[in-house]
Chains A and B, each alone.
Chain A
Amino acid sequence: MAGRGGRALLALCGALAACGWLLGAEAQEPGAPAAGMRRRRRLQQEDGISFEYHRYPELREALVSVWLQCTAISRIYTVGRSFEGRELLVIELSDNPGVHEPGEPEFKYIGNMHGNEAVGRELLIFLAQYLCNEYQKGNETIVNLIHSTRIHIMPSLNPDGFEKAASQPGELKDWFVGRSNAQGIDLNRNFPDLDRIVYVNEKEGGPNNHLLKNMKKIVDQNTKLAPETKAVIHWIMDIPFVLSANLHGGDLVANYPYDETRSGSAHEYSSCPDDAIFKSLARAYSSFNPVMSDPSRPPCRKNDDDSSFVDGTTNGGAWYSVPGGMQDFNYLSSNCFEITVELSCEKFPPEETLKSFWEDNKNSLISYLQQIHRGVKGFVRDLQGNPIANATISVEGIEHDVTSAKDGDYWRLLVPGNYKLTASAPGYLAITKKVAVPYSPAVGVDFELESFSERKEEEKEELMEWWKMMSETLNF
């Protein structure tokens, strides 16, 4: 547009806006919330965090507010849309939002995948606000965390279900209404059941990681997958997540893989190859939540069987078998380790309790975030220093490998101990290194791999040397 015209245009907009302001109202959103949850913004109870339920418009506003306050370290994006068209919003917090810095691990929190399990959704909104506030106050722990990690927070994977659940009149919400997505699909049973495949592979031989390699096409063509499920799968494929937690409600425990029992029975401890680190990760969450880790806490309901709970943690299969869950899908299809956290006995508790849930969980949420900086991490490169993506990093004694990301960077969570790590890639010679791993921080181990052709070149040169020597000696 011509400069003058452009300014005139702005002026026009300004005039319109001025008219708007003068007419005395702020633009109301067309989809203003229904009678049930009138938008009451209470006076800020704590640093801009208002402890009340956020419907979809309020959720969006809350995230936008965080972004506006912390523009330098945050970014909002969407991984897709729910069945009814609501954006699956994610807020990312890092010192360079939108960018994967080589070597910087990626973390995600996902809440409210069951729409009526509402505490997780709210906690994640509070967390985003909290991280922003604390960063600006100069809280060292938070500043370091944000500078060294890329944190992705998705408050709600099932916004449609939440709207349904929240629209129920009265305080007492039904145990099931709003749990599934708008199509009636339980998202935490909707993921491809890779556990089954792995259990077969365990018996007959076969891999137990990065199953379904060429996933995008299969995923898109699978008609049984809900749009929310598909969105998450793409998300997992696109970003090299290292650690994750999936927030639920209805009980109080931190649950870790495998969720599905091997024999198919209802309860059976089903350990995965990384049982040790998972126990440690789950404990890192539960131990900071006084209620969750209270050994003398009675079960949520009188007849509940919590015999599998240990220190506020449980193996999934030992508690009850869950096929097609997101947690195991993460572990078996990607590098990401995910646990499931049940945050509240009541799935949709009264609004007044939200503040105390935040108090109980805020340290856990931060502590779990910090777990990403454990084990071993580094780069896999070739002899020229170029990154080798998709190299395999295997640990002796643990039947589960991880792979390097696009910049050759990898992260391998491990409990303290002595390990032998092997990095390998097709066309390259594998290298093994010994590592002593403390509790934290992560130990840096880089690999420089020599390719077969390079080795061949070396050998060839050696042979040429021999040939030369021979010919000189024998006068060829």
Chain B
Amino acid sequence: MGFLWTGTWILVLVLHVSPIQAFPKPGSSQDKSLHNRELSAERPLNEQIAEAEADKIKKTYPPENKPGESNYSFVDNLNLLKAITEKEKIEKDRQSIRSSPFDNKLNVEDVDSTKNRRLTDDYDSTKSGLDHKLQDDPDGLHQLDGTPLTAEDIVHKIATRIYEENDRGVFDKIVSKLLNLGLITESQAHTLEDEVAEVLQKLISQEANNYEQDPNKPTSRTENQAGKIPEKVSPMAAIQDGFTNGENDETVSNTLTLTNGLERRTKTYSEDNFEELQYFPNFYALLKSIDSEKEAKEKETLITIMKTLIDFVKMMVKYGTISPEEGVSYLENLDEMIALQTKNKLEKNATDNKSKLFPAPSEKSHEETDSTKEEAAKMEKEYGTLKDSTKDDNSNPGGKTDEPTGKTEAYLEAIRKNIEWLKKHDKKGNKEDYDLSKMRDFINQQTDAYVEKGILDKEEAKAIKRIYSSL
């Protein structure tokens, strides 16, 4: 008992020493103040640094007579632009040589503007001078004669960069940085966009004026500009131009695509129909391959189909259903697909396929509102015949009986087995339809995910989705 007593006292003593909540600790409050003291000692330092930065910013921002435009929002953000332009300085250096002829012309234009740039006095039109001056400007925030930049100058600089690089992405980069850092608001970003667009517009029209004076470049379009643009981009521009006729909302993208796309057309096509279709080289080749005399009607139909599709896409863009870029990519993909199909077609029995080609498309009408149902019905028909053909091994639409059909057949077979099993598995009558639509959604989701991960390619995914949607 005595031993126990001692033991208990020892334990009690131990408890006093060890940190248990029940017993108050005199030392804790002291720790707190020490802790706080550390924090308070740190903060002033941070503030000091912040203040120093702020001072630096104030010093670099020069007092100037602003021409009273609404660019004040950017005036406070010179420091940020400094950082950005520093990064882009490297690219600028690389491009300075290439871009200098343009610079020259731009500088000439500046004489007309009400802006503060006094570049023309200081420039001579030789490349080397320009390069030298550009390279001496480490932070890009000063004009070449040493005077600091105004906000308009910055806008102008951005516009020039975009113009030179033919890339709207420059602007997006800058704006997203500004937004991310919280230095500008959304509305300010929009304002900036508009201003840059205006300037860009001016740049481009100036360019146009300059080039129109050159008689050696025949044009088939009203607004035409020279450029080192690859041919592939031309359909994009042509369509874009069509899309954005008269729309001034997306001025920047408009002007950019105008810049990008239009190139000299050396070829002119006799038929009016081909004006837009010329931008689809593969389709055009296909048309050419059809003998005009014998199958004029088929040719007409094909052309009509293509034009309808193009109009369709244009309308969707106009209504804002899809963006111009998406529209263009649809059409580009279409062209590629035509190339592929043409190639395949050439490997098969040509005449058989050709005769099969046309009956269905001729059903296609120009009334897009009704076409959805028609298309769906047409698709169902197609798949109906296809499905039957898998069961009956003797015939199939493509006329290929020699080679057993490949992967799409295998997929079809697999899907069939899956559906069969599903039906057997839940034998409740009502549930069947329900499960099928759920399965359809699930399949759509999964195929998309698989395409993203590289497990399926887009064609396969489309095929699978179509098969499911036609069940």
B119 adjacent to chain A (CB < 8 Å): no
B19 to chain A, nearest CB (A): 11
- Is A215 in contact with chain B by the CB < 8 A criterion? no
Q: Which chain B positions have C-beta within 8 A of A40?
A: 404
Binary contact track A27-46/B, C-beta < 8 Å → 1, others 0: 11100000000011111000
Q: Which residues of B contact A417 (CB under 8 A)?
A: none
Selected interface stretch from A147-155, A200-208, A317-325, A458-466: A458-466
Q: Identify 28 residue pairs between A and B in the complex whose beta-carbon atoms are under 8 Å apart, listed by A's number.
A: A5-B319, A8-B372, A11-B376, A17-B462, A19-B305, A21-B382, A22-B353, A23-B342, A23-B357, A25-B347, A26-B405, A26-B406, A27-B463, A40-B404, A42-B404, A48-B414, A64-B455, A65-B413, A66-B414, A68-B418, A68-B464, A70-B421, A71-B418, A77-B455, A87-B455, A136-B417, A460-B20, A463-B11
* Interface assignment of A290: CB less than 8 Å from any CB of chain B: no
A8 in contact with B368 given A14-B375, A68-B418 (CB within 8 Å): yes
Q: Give the A interface residue count (CB, 8 A).
A: 57
Query: 1/0 per position for A56-92, CB-CB distance to B under 8 A?
Result: 0000110011111111100011100100000101000
Cβ of B364 within 8 Å of any chain A Cβ, yes or no, is yes
- B443 interface contact, C-beta 8 A: yes
Q: Which of B85-93, B232-240, B260-268, B309-317 binds A?
A: B309-317
In the bound complex, residues from chain B placing their C-beta under 8 Å from that of A463 are 11-12, 15
CA distance A21 to B375 in the complex (A): 13
A20 at the interface (CB under 8 A from B): yes
> Judging by beta carbons under 8 Å apart, are A48 and B397 in contact?
no
A8 to B455, CA, bound (A): 28
Our pick among A17, A19, A66, A71 for the contact of B442 (Cβ within 8 Å) is A71
A24 in contact with B456 (CB, 8 Å): no
- Asked if A1 CB lies within 8 Å of chain B CBs, one says yes
Query: Is A18 among interface residues, defined by CB-CB distance under 8 A?
Result: yes
Measured between beta carbons, the chain B residues less than 8 angstroms from A22 are: 353, 356-357, 360-361, 382, 397
Closest to A129 in B: B414
Chain A positions within 8 Å of B322 at CB level: 1, 5, 9
B413 and A64 contacting across the interface, CB-CB below 8 Å: no
Question: Given the known A-B contacts A12-B330, A22-B357, A48-B413, are A89 and B455 also in contact in the complex, defined by CB atoms under 8 Å?
Answer: yes
Q: A24-B357, A69-B421 are in contact. List 11 more A-B contacts (CB 8 A).
A: A10-B372, A12-B313, A12-B375, A18-B360, A19-B338, A25-B398, A26-B406, A42-B404, A68-B415, A69-B418, A71-B439
Asked if B8 is at the interface of the complex by the 8 Å CB criterion, the answer is yes
Cβ-defined contact, A65 with B361, below 8 A: no
- Report which of A10, A18, A66, A76 forms a contact with B450, defined as CB distance below 8 A: A76
The answer to whether A78 touches B334, judged by C-beta atoms less than 8 angstroms apart, is no
A68 to B409, CA, bound (A): 12
For the complex, would chain B's binding face be called helix, strand, loop or mixed by DSSP majority? Answer: helix
* Inter-subunit contact B321/A64 (CB<8 Å): no
Instruction: List A contacts of B52 (CB < 8 A).
Output: none
Q: Would B20 and A24 count as touching, CB distance under 8 A?
A: no
A25–B405 CA distance with the chains assembled, in angstroms: 10
Task: Among A6, A8, A66, A470, point to the contact of B312 (Cβ < 8 A).
Answer: A8
* Contacting residue for B406 out of A11, A20, A39, CB 8 A: A39
Structural contact, B378 and A18, CB atoms closer than 8 A = yes
Give the A-B pair count, Cβ closer than 8 A.
176
Q: Determine the chain B residues whose CB is within 8 A of the CB of A25 once the complex forms.
A: 341, 344-345, 347-348, 398
Q: A11-B375, A16-B337 are in contact. Are A27 and B459 (CB under 8 A)?
A: yes
> A13 interface residue, CB < 8 Å from B?
yes
Is A15 part of the binding interface, using a Cβ–Cβ cutoff of 8 Å? yes
A78 and B421: CB pair below 8 A? no
Do residues A5 and B421 form an inter-chain contact, with CB atoms below 8 A?
A: no
Q: Known contacts being A15-B309, A23-B341, is A1 close to B321, with CB within 8 Å? A: yes
Top 9 nearest A-B pairs by Cβ distance?
A5-B321, A25-B344, A68-B414, A23-B341, A69-B414, A11-B375, A24-B353, A65-B414, A27-B459
Which A residues are CB-close (under 8 A) to B379?
A: 14, 17-18
Contact of B348 with A26 in the complex, beta carbons under 8 Å: no
A78: contacting residue among B371, B413, B453, B463, CB under 8 A: B453
Q: In the docked arrangement, what's the CA distance between A69 and B463, Å?
A: 15
Q: Given the known A-B contacts A15-B375, A64-B456, are A41 and B406 also in contact in the complex, defined by CB atoms under 8 Å?
A: yes
- Asked if A18 and B316 sit within 8 Å, CB to CB, the answer is no
Instruction: State whether the Cβ of B34 lies closer than 8 Å to any Cβ in chain A.
Output: no
Contacts A20-B341, A78-B453 hold; do A15 and B417 have CB atoms under 8 A apart? no
Q: Roughly how many angstroms separate A71 CA and B420 CA in the complex, as a whole number?
A: 12
A27 to B: closest C-beta gap in Å: 4
Does chain A have a CB within 8 A of B466?
yes
Contact A27 B340 (CB under 8 A): yes
Asked, given contacts A68-B418, A68-B464, whether A76 binds B455 with beta carbons under 8 Å apart, the answer is: yes
The verdict on B288 contacting chain A, using a C-beta distance below 8 Å, is: no
Bound complex: CA A323 to CA B371 (Å): 67
Say whether A467 faces chain B, with CB atoms less than 8 Å apart.
yes
Question: In the complex, which residues of chain A have a beta carbon less than 8 angstroms from the beta carbon of B450?
Answer: 76
Which residue among A1, A25, A460 has the maximum number of chain B CB atoms within 10 Å of its CB?
A25
Docked pose: A237 CA to B463 CA in angstroms: 36
**B window 389-417: CB within 8 A of A:** 397-399, 404-411, 413-415, 417
Q: Which residues of A contact B456 (CB under 8 A)?
A: 64
